[in-house]
Amino acid sequence: MRIVHVIPSLALGGAERILVSLACEQKKLGKEVAVISIFGVSDSYLQRELESYGIPIYGLFRKTTQRLLITKECLQILLKLNPSVIHCHLQSVKYIILYSLIKHPVLIYTIHGEPSNDSRGFNKIVNQISIILGMKIIAVSKYVASQAENYYRLNKIQVIYNSHDINYNDPIERFKRDDIINIISVARFHLPKRQDLAILAMQSLAEKTTKFSLTFVGDGPERRRAEELVKNLKLEKYIKFVGNSSNVSDFLKDSDIFLHITESEALSVAIQEAMHFGLPIIASQVGGIPELVKDGENGFLINDNEVESISERLFYLIDNPELMEKMSEVSFNKSKEFSVKKMATEYIGIYGKDR
């Protein structure tokens, strides 16, 4: 079975990380795998991980306006590779549809986010045509599946939960007692993520206790504004920014609570990782997050992203270490429901037998 994954870029995002984990696991399972990155590749740890598994990457380095040229180059690459399966991620179906019409491979499209954001206008039209021609759609959560069924007027869309490559044989200290409770947030500084609300919640939390810190892992266009907000609120001694990291696990191991505030979320791989490290989760009650976080069991869900609710839930956990330890255990155990091997095996099952 020869599989080609197609994605707009290998930027440091959730869908990109999932593609890399999936491709590497499929390679480990003995499949031939390649990746096409429409808008080129950069020297990121995602690229290096693919290369370490011997997975070839084809970067086109084109602009979004060069649609016809991209389609032509994709056709040339695909004719050379002759894959039996093309697995599209994000807004990439339109670039491989010509090859699909000529060679009729198994065509898979994973919806990683809100369908209306992931595919609109011309992209939606192409996807609808591809569905008629036999393209199989996979959703990363029950929430996304429900949204996609309405968006594309389909009866039932299969769900395959995303999972990042985590070694469950690593010894994990699931609860760290310390004078200072370390809160961590891992996300891009870009809407719909709302680090600004998390910062405002820290201002409120600081009025209740001083025994906490917040670490932001990630980068993006909203980071500078967030840093200015921290400075204006004089919260520098509580909050630090560390930028992007290829070793997020090092930060998670030293943390006690995971905070994830966002306006929308299909399914958070960052939350899954935090659960593996036994962190109680405080997160927005949106999208697919309730499929990971059970309110009152392994964390708390925040309605309407209310700043005071975020602060109150954080303080409640900090003030109740026994509850934090109990939630830690539930998070760790629930995280075992998700694995890269399971995800890769389920996709291979959908691809069908070798052809």
Taking each continuous run of H as one helix and of E as one strand, the counts in the chain are 14, 13
SS3 at position 108: strand
pLDDT in the model for residue 169: 46
Task: State the angle between helix axes of 14-28 and 340-351 in degrees (0 to 180), rounded to the nearest 10.
Answer: 80
pLDDT in the model for residue 246: 79
CATH number of 2-166+339-351: 3.40.50.2000
pLDDT in the model for residue 205: 97
> Which architecture does CATH list for 181-335?
3-Layer(aba) Sandwich (3.40)
pLDDT in the model for residue 166: 62
Q: Is residue 192 reached through a cis peptide bond, with omega within 30 degrees of 0 on the bond before it?
A: yes
Q: Is the pTM of this model over 0.75?
A: yes
Tokens 């390679």 sit on residue: 27
pLDDT in the model for residue 11: 79
Residue ranges of domains in the chain: 2-166+339-351, 181-335
Identical fold between 2-166+339-351 and 181-335: yes
Instruction: Annotate 215-241 with b (16+ C-beta within 10 A) or e (fewer).
Output: bbbbbbebbeebbebbeeeebeebbeb
pLDDT in the model for residue 118: 72
Cα–Cα dist 114/107, whole Å: 20
Q: Taking a C-beta distance cutoff of 8 angstroms, is the pair 14, 112 a contact? A: yes
Distances (CA, A) of 233 to 24, 84, 211, 322: 44, 56, 18, 31
Q: Any idea what DSSP says for residue 179?
A: S
Q: Any idea what DSSP says for residue 277?
A: T
Distances (CA, A) of 1 to 24, 30, 58, 243: 14, 9, 19, 38
Phi, psi of 37 (to 5 degrees): -110, 105
Cα–Cα dist 124/73, whole Å: 22
pLDDT in the model for residue 354: 45
For residue 344, what are its two tokens? 């890769």
pLDDT string in tens for the chain (355-residue length): 999 999 998 877 788 989 999 999 999 999 999 999 998 776 678 888 999 999 999 988 777 668 889 999 999 999 999 999 999 999 999 999 999 999 999 999 999 988 887 777 888 999 999 999 999 999 999 999 999 999 999 989 999 999 876 654 444 554 555 689 999 999 999 999 999 999 999 999 999 999 999 999 999 999 999 999 999 999 999 999 999 987 888 899 999 999 999 999 999 989 999 999 999 999 999 999 999 999 999 999 999 999 999 999 999 999 999 999 999 999 999 998 998 999 999 999 999 854 4
